[in-house]
């Protein structure tokens, strides 16, 4: 049936017979000089219009197109009509068929067929020849298409592998650069930390020496203050003793005899420092 037919030309003709409309180019919508691809059914205008049919051949390598006006098939590869081959083969078969007659001439009594039978046989022979030629051309075109698409698949596979290889190399290079940058940053940070640690160590030694000097000065100052306080306490004690002694002398009955006398301090064996301070006190009294 037409519905299940795989021939795109037959399907196109069936659609036109069911719904008569003017066919147009699939690209520019023109209705003049139309050709239909016998491989996929693409309808395009001829080279004397916009040339979409020949562009379709260049893009898909479908080299056979049927002229919708003359019903002749054009071969873009051979740049000629394929019906010339059909006519030549049909003429050869017709010649072979005619040569079976044993008697020459048109009024052969042994040939038991009329002109109508001869015409039917010739039409059948031509039809068979056309079908054979069409099948041969279709098989050749399908083989060409198979090689064409296999080449496209091979090119696409090679291009895909090339893109994958380029992408992998780019990814690896980017990753290596990233790792190298991280390593350089880490080494730089390590160097900075080492320098900072060295500076901190030097600063720590300096601060230790400074703190030690401060502690020594504080200890010396504390010792000096303690010595000063002890000396002042001894002087206060001597001063109190001197005042007490003067009061005692003033109350004594021999005060007049003691006036103008000299007070001689006695050195004490247990505390020489106190003797010295007493000596200094006596000197101050005089």
pLDDT confidence of residue 22: 83
Give this prediction's pTM.
0.35
pLDDT confidence of residue 131: 77
Query: What would the 3-class secondary structure string for the chain be?
Result: CCCCCCCHHHHHHHHHHHCCCCCCCCCCCCCCCEEEECCCCCEEECCCCCCHHHHHHHHHCCCEEEECCCCCEEECCCCEECHHHHHHHHHHHHHHHHCCCCCCCCCCCCCCCCHHHHHHHHHHHHHHHHHHHHHHHHHHHHHHHHHHHHHHHHHHHHHHHHHHHHHHHHHHHHHHHHHHHHHHHHHHHHHHHHHHHHHHHHHHHHHHHHHHHHHHHHHHHHHHHHHHHHHHHHHHHHHHHHHHHHHHHHHCCCHHHHCCCCCCCCCCCCCHHHHHHHHHHHHHHC
CATH number of the domain where residue 63 is located: 3.30.40.10
Q: Is residue 31 part of a domain?
A: yes
Q: Which domain holds residue 61?
A: 8-81
pLDDT confidence of residue 101: 45
Q: What is the pLDDT along the chain (286 residues), one digit of tens a residue?
A: 344 456 777 777 777 777 677 888 888 988 888 999 888 889 999 888 888 998 998 888 888 888 888 888 888 887 888 764 444 444 444 444 444 444 444 444 444 444 444 455 556 667 777 777 777 877 877 888 788 888 888 999 999 999 999 999 999 999 999 999 999 999 999 999 999 999 999 999 999 999 999 999 999 999 999 999 999 999 999 898 888 888 887 777 666 665 655 555 555 554 444 444 444 444 444 4
pLDDT confidence of residue 251: 76
CA atoms of 56 and 46, how far apart (whole Å): 11
Q: Is residue 15 part of a domain?
A: yes
pLDDT confidence of residue 253: 65
Whole-number CA gyration radius for the chain: 67
pLDDT confidence of residue 15: 79
First-last CA distance in the chain: 159
The number of residues in the chain equals: 286
CA atoms of 23 and 31, how far apart (whole Å): 6
Q: Is residue 265 part of a domain?
A: no
Of the candidates 52, 48, 47, the residue with the CA atom closest to the CA atom of residue 25: 52
Which residues are CB-neighbours of 129 under 8 A, at least 6 positions away?
86, 89, 90, 93
- If one counts the domains in the chain, the total is 1
Q: Is residue 63 part of a domain?
A: yes
pLDDT confidence of residue 263: 56
pLDDT confidence of residue 89: 44
Q: Measuring CA to CA, how many Å separate 161 from each of 156, 165, 174, 229?
A: 8, 6, 19, 99
Q: Is residue 203 part of a domain?
A: no
pLDDT confidence of residue 118: 47
For residue 256, give both structure tokens.
Answer: 């007049």
Q: Is residue 168 part of a domain?
A: no
Q: Is residue 73 part of a domain?
A: yes
pLDDT confidence of residue 141: 77
pLDDT confidence of residue 6: 67
Q: Is residue 134 part of a domain?
A: no
């Amino acid at each position: 049936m037409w519905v299940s037919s795989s021939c795109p030309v037959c399907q196109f003709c069936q659609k036109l017979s069911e719904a008569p409309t003017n066919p147009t180019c699939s690209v520019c919508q023109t209705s003049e000089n139309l050709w239909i691809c016998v491989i996929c059914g693409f309808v395009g205008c001829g080279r004397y219009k916009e040339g979409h049919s020949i562009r379709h051949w260049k893009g898909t390598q479908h080299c056979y197109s049927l002229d919708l006006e003359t019903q002749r098939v054009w071969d873009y590869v051979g740049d000629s009509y394929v019906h010339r081959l059909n006519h030549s083969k049909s003429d050869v078969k017709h010649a072979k068929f005619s040569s079976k007659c044993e008697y020459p001439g048109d009024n052969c009594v042994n040939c038991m067929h009329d002109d109508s039978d001869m015409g039917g046989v010739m039409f059948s022979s031509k039809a068979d020849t056309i079908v054979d030629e069409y099948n041969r051309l279709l098989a050749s075109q399908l083989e060409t298409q198979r090689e064409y698409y296999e080449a496209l698949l091979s090119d696409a596979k090679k291009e895909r592998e090339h893109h994958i290889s380029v992408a992998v190399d780019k990814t690896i290079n980017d990753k290596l650069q990233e790792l190298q940058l991280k390593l350089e940053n880490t080494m730089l940070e390590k160097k900075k930390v080492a320098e900072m640690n060295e500076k901190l160590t030097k600063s720590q030694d300096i601060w230790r020496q400074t703190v030690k000097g401060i502690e020594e000065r504080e200890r010396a100052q504390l010792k000096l203050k303690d010595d000063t306080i002890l000396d002042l306490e001894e002087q206060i004690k001597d001063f109190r003793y001197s005042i007490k002694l003067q009061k005692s002398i003033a109350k004594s009955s021999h005060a007049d005899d003691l006036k103008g006398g000299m007070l001689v301090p006695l050195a004490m064996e247990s505390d020489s420092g106190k003797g010295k301070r007493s000596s200094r006190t006596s000197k101050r009294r005089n």
